[in-house]
Amino acid sequence: MLVCSGLLLFRRVLTTEDEYLEIPSISRQRAGTYECTAINDVATDVQTVELTVNYAPTLSEGKDVGVTLGQQGVLQCEADAVPAADFEWYRDDRRVFNSFDGIEIEDSGALSQLTFFNVSEGDYGNYTCVAINKLGSANASIILFEVIEPTSSTLLQGPGAVQDGNSASRAAHTSTCLLILLALQLLLKF
């Protein structure tokens, strides 16, 4: 008797018998460990088979990143791929390399990170992450854009883009200033 669990394109030779299991449509969800048990009068034989499903990389939509001049900026690119993807970064059409101009590229598993240690004016722009494996490639673009740190002068000019952990209190401060300005204007009208 031959009992095989799961659906697997699987060939088990047992004395003169051949057994096939076929997966009609292979998909990522079918990856895993399959077990085949062969039983006869003499013995029971269990064999496990690891099924790996390979697929080309897919990338989630790139999220644009805002950074203030002189601060650290990190662009992230996450790929779903088997086998794991290799990454390449481009600034427009130019390849960006590791440890060049205060830039570090770090890959770990599904994630690639491009770090600017000290963002300068010239760093702002359009970056493209390309993920490649033997089955194909995918790319996603991320804009690194400038965020103006609110100062006493920008606060009076109105709400600008804000950033980081203090943003909530800064934003609140900005709208308080605006409210006072509005109130002043209203008072002046009457």
Ligand X SMILES: *[C@@H]1O[C@H](CO)[C@@H](O)[C@H](O)[C@H]1NC(C)=O
| Identity of the residue, 109 or 122, whose beta carbon is nearer to ligand X in the bound complex | 122
- Using DSSP's 3-state secondary structure scheme, residue 147 falls into coil
Q: Which parts of the chain are beta strand (E)?
A: 2-4, 10-14, 17-21, 32-39, 44-51, 55-59, 65-67, 73-82, 86-91, 94-96, 103-108, 111-116, 125-133, 136-146
**Least distance in Å: CB of 54 to ligand X?**
20
Which residues would be at the binding site for ligand X (CB under 6 A)? Answer: 70, 118, 120, 126, 128, 130, 137, 139, 141, 143
**Least distance in Å: CB of 28 to ligand X?**
20
**Phi-psi category of residue 151: left, alpha or beta, with phi > 0 → left and psi -120 to 50 → alpha:** beta
| Identity of the residue, 34 or 89, whose beta carbon is nearer to ligand X in the bound complex | 89
| Identity of the residue, 11 or 63, whose beta carbon is nearer to ligand X in the bound complex | 63
**Least distance in Å: CB of 88 to ligand X?**
8
